[in-house]
Structure 1
Amino acid sequence: MKPPWEYPFLSDVLLPLSYLYLLALKGRSFLYKLDLLKPKELPTKVISVGNLTVGGSGKTPVVMKMAQWLKEKGVKVGILSRGYKGKMAKRGTIVSEGKNLLLGPELIGDEPYLLAKSLPHIPQAVGIDRFKLGKLLCELHGLQAVVLDDGFQYLKLKKDLEILCIPSDMEITKIRLLPSGPFREGLSSIKRAHLLLLTYWEGSEKGFKLLERLKAFGKPIFLANPLYEGLLEGESLIPFSQLKGKRLLLCLGIGNPYRLLNFLETEGLSVYKTLIRQDHHKWSKEEIERELKGVEAIVTTEKDFVKFPPLEVPVYRVKLNMEMEEAFWEFLKKTLYG
């Protein structure tokens, strides 16, 4: 099922609710401006990575790269996530103590699980109250920095750096807030960011037009190129060309499935069937097996795969990285550490 904003009639019907949502956002912002609500401060540097829209901004690979970069610099770093759709989000929990992955995706959410599995030596916690969990991680591990995953709308925490990820193919000619559109906030909220990171940059005409539009906000802007490294088969990485000629079932439950679909087709892969679901979809064995007739292999994302049932057909995960330009890292080093 597609999100409601992809159905024009339904999007129009839901528009009044978007105005109510906007009113709530403005009310919250007003309370912070009056200091009636104040952000709390952790005893460490907080680097927030967030977005303006629901899914598809490349936020998760950026969080991964940020945490890896800090770790390589010798910084004791941890990750804080909300744990969207995880059963432990309300209570809050430690996901990884920097050695072992303690809980599964059902409890902590697909993205935090993927982060913790990919970064086993970095402590991580998930939950709604990220101040309480951040304080706990700092006490347990003596953290010198925390990467706040999906932190742009989280105003309860004071941040040293606010990174806003904006996909270079984002459509800004018609902006509608949730639930009638994909925007969590309007473009005016960009003024809160310290820098803008244009993700999935491929130098398209649409990308350059967006870049020119964003320059008006007077924020530093950096580019991040998508790097599709190959396909993971177990723990082995194989080239996309190895699946050429095979009839593939593509299973995607991510923010922007069409971006990956187009890439695979340009690689010459034969997408025999496609299953597209909403972001964070939990896959069932039955829905996949119904589509397996004539299929030789399944291709999905790493995020989708953590919620996949056991199957007898080979399943390959697309390995996606995000390559930020060198100027981005130089800016971070100067801003955070002088």
Structure 2
Amino acid sequence: MIKSWLNRIEKRVLKTMETPGHFEPFSFDQVLASCASVYKAGVKLRYALYGSGFLKSRRLDCPVISIGNLAVGGSGKTPMALYLARMLSEKGMRPVVISRGYKGTLGKQAAVVSDGREVFLDATACGDEPYMMAMEKNFPVVVGKDRYKAGLMALKTFAPDAVILDDGFQHLKLGRDLNLVLLDYSQPLGNGRMLPAGRLRETLCMAKDRIDAIVFTRCPPDVFQWDAFQLDAVQGFGHQSFAKDIIKVVPSVPVFFSTHEPFVAQLFPAGSDNNTKEFQSWTLQGKTAVLFSGLARNASFAQSAQDLGANIADHLEFCDHYRYNGPDFKRIMARAKALNVDCILTTQKDWVKVNPACFRDVTVAVIGIRMRVSNPQGLEKFIWDNTLGQATAPGRP
């Protein structure tokens, strides 16, 4: 009873977060707007305490690159963290990714998820995104609510050349050399309101002095080819004004454009518990599928499935970071059998919380996302010039 009631409240809040325009007086939405005003005041106070030195940021003895956003959920922070970690690894450097470990059971404890070869914790302990990144087995991953303490552990254990801070823009306790802020191109600031009436953790004006570069994510193909200076010349795109308005607030900040490319990361044929590596020739084109996902924006996953050519028979949507259980698996399987689909599709983030044995009777494809930047050389040069190239400069704090 209580769980059902809480679920209804959560759905109502999520609906409000997507609602633009004026709220009716004395409505539930207006109550959330009042709560947002209190939240905004608290955020401003916290930033003022850091600005005055009453609260202090502490630095690590290596460059720190923070990847973050202004709004909760769904801007592509994890794909970007993977992108940067791969980029640095390919340059022969030793990056470490540090994550909060959201929804993990470790609490305040810092821990090594992976040393780059072996994974030591599961998704329940460390959280969905850290585990997913650790499964790359290409660079170490460390989690900890206190990112400074997690950073000290990373330095002591791995002696990295650089730390990539996943979802760290608002974590001022750890100083950083570079702040990359990701904004979803179609909904960069949500409905423009702060939590819980909107998705904003802070407004653009509150954040502008801390932003070193903006990366617009999930850009449509036409926009993906733009440079920042072209925005005033390009006409006819529905969300163009969002990008232009944001750039006007931070005119001196470099801007990059990126897109998310979906791909089949794993394939589990019907009758098997094991992932097959022989799926390069396997395609979703024309196949009917039931989808299930627990994301901040489940619609983005449905779009990815469509982009890969799948015909969506049904999409079972769950809340972000949802923990699946036996009845959930039975429900998904029952729906797939009832619709007689070719396969079940889910995301890498969701699959790490699934027992493959529950889906033995149907083919399952796990969809991953690759970040692709329109000007990768420009982004790499910007990061190097502003962080890594200065790592040995005299007088660096």
**8 Å CA contact 2:39, 2:195 repeated in 1:** yes
Q: Which among 299, 320, 323 is matched to residue 372 of structure 2? A: 323
Q: Distance in 2 between matches of 1:12 and 1:262?
A: 32
* CA distance 1:72–1:173, shift in 2 (3 Å): closer
Deviation at 1:277, TM superposition (A): 1.3
Residue 130 of structure 1, aligned match among 147, 150, 168: 147
Q: 1:21-41: per-residue Cα shift (whole Å, max 9, x none)? A: 111101101101111111001
Instruction: Give yes or no for contact 2:78–2:166 (8 Å, CA) kept in 1.
Output: yes
Aligned to 2:179: 162
2:162 maps to what in 1? 145
SS state of the match for residue 70, structure 1?
Answer: helix
C-alpha RMSD of matched pairs (Å):
2.1
2:359 is matched with 311
Aligned partner (choices 234, 254, 273) of residue 220 of structure 1: 254
Alignment pair present for 1:35 and 2:53: yes
Tell me whether 285-294 or 267-276 shows the greater mean CA deviation: 285-294
Given the superposition, is the C-alpha separation of residues 304 and 237 from structure 1 closer, same or farther in structure 2, using an over 3 Å criterion? farther
Measured after TM superposition, the shift of residue 235 of structure 1 is: 5.0
Distance 1:287 1:131 in 2: 37
Paired residue secondary structure (1:162): strand
Tell me if the contact between 1:152 and 1:164 (Cα under 8 Å) persists in the aligned partners.
yes
State which structure, 1 or 2, has the greater radius of gyration over its C-alpha atoms. Answer: 2
- Partner residue, 2:266: 232
Pick from 230, 234, 240: which aligns with 1:208? 240
Aligned partner (choices 190, 194, 217) of residue 212 of structure 2: 194
In structure 2, what residue type is equivalent to 1:117?
A: M
Q: Which residue of 1 aligns with 2:72?
A: 54
Q: Secondary structure at the match of 1:329?
A: helix
- Cα 1:194–1:261, aligned 2, differ >3 Å: closer, same or farther? same
* Stretch moving more, 307-316 or 59-68: 307-316
Alpha-carbon distance in structure 2 between the residues aligned to 1:12 and 1:163: 33
Q: Does 1:6 align with 2:15?
A: yes
Shift of 1:238: 4.2
Normalising by structure 2, report the TM-score.
0.79
> 1:87 is matched with which residue?
105
- For 2:80 and 2:124, the matched residues in 1 are separated by 23
1:264 alignment counterpart:
305
| Equivalent pair of 1:95/1:116 in contact (CA under 8 Å) | yes
Identify the residue that residue 288 of structure 1 maps to in structure 2.
329
1:71 paired residue number: 89
Contact 1:3 1:278 (8 Å CA) reproduced: no
Question: Which residue pairs with 2:230 in the alignment?
Answer: none
- Runs of at least 5 residues in structure 1 that lack an aligned partner in the other structure: none
- Taking the TM superposition and a 5 Å limit, the aligned residue runs for 1:12-27 are 12-27=30-45
CA distance in 2, matches of 1:270, 1:239: 20
8 Å Cα contact 1:250-1:300 kept in structure 2: yes
CA drift of 1:306 comes to: 0.6
In the comparison of the two structures, how many residue pairs are matched?
337
* Contact residue 266 and residue 366 of structure 2 kept, 8 A: yes
One-letter amino acid of the counterpart of residue 208, structure 1: Q
Matching residue's letter, 2:371: M
Counterpart position of 2:233: none
SS of alignment partner, residue 59 of structure 2: coil
Q: CA shift at 1:144, angstroms?
A: 1.6
Aligned residues with identical type, % of pairs: 29
> What is the CA–CA distance in structure 1 between the aligned matches of 2:297 and 2:238, rounded to whole Å?
16
Q: Where does residue 24 of structure 2 map in the other structure?
A: none
Check the 8 A contact 1:97/1:122 in 2, yes or no.
Answer: yes
**2:384 equivalent in structure 1:** 333
The answer to whether structure 1 residue 182 and structure 2 residue 199 are counterparts is: yes
Change (3 A) 1:10 1:100: farther
Distance in 1 of aligned mates of 2:116 and 2:284: 36
Describe the SS at the equivalent of 1:80: strand
Structure 2: give runs of 5+ residues left out of the alignment. Answer: 1-6, 20-26, 224-236, 268-274, 391-397
- Residue 38 of structure 1 aligns with an amino acid whose one-letter code is K
Residue 227 of structure 1 aligns to a residue whose secondary structure is: strand
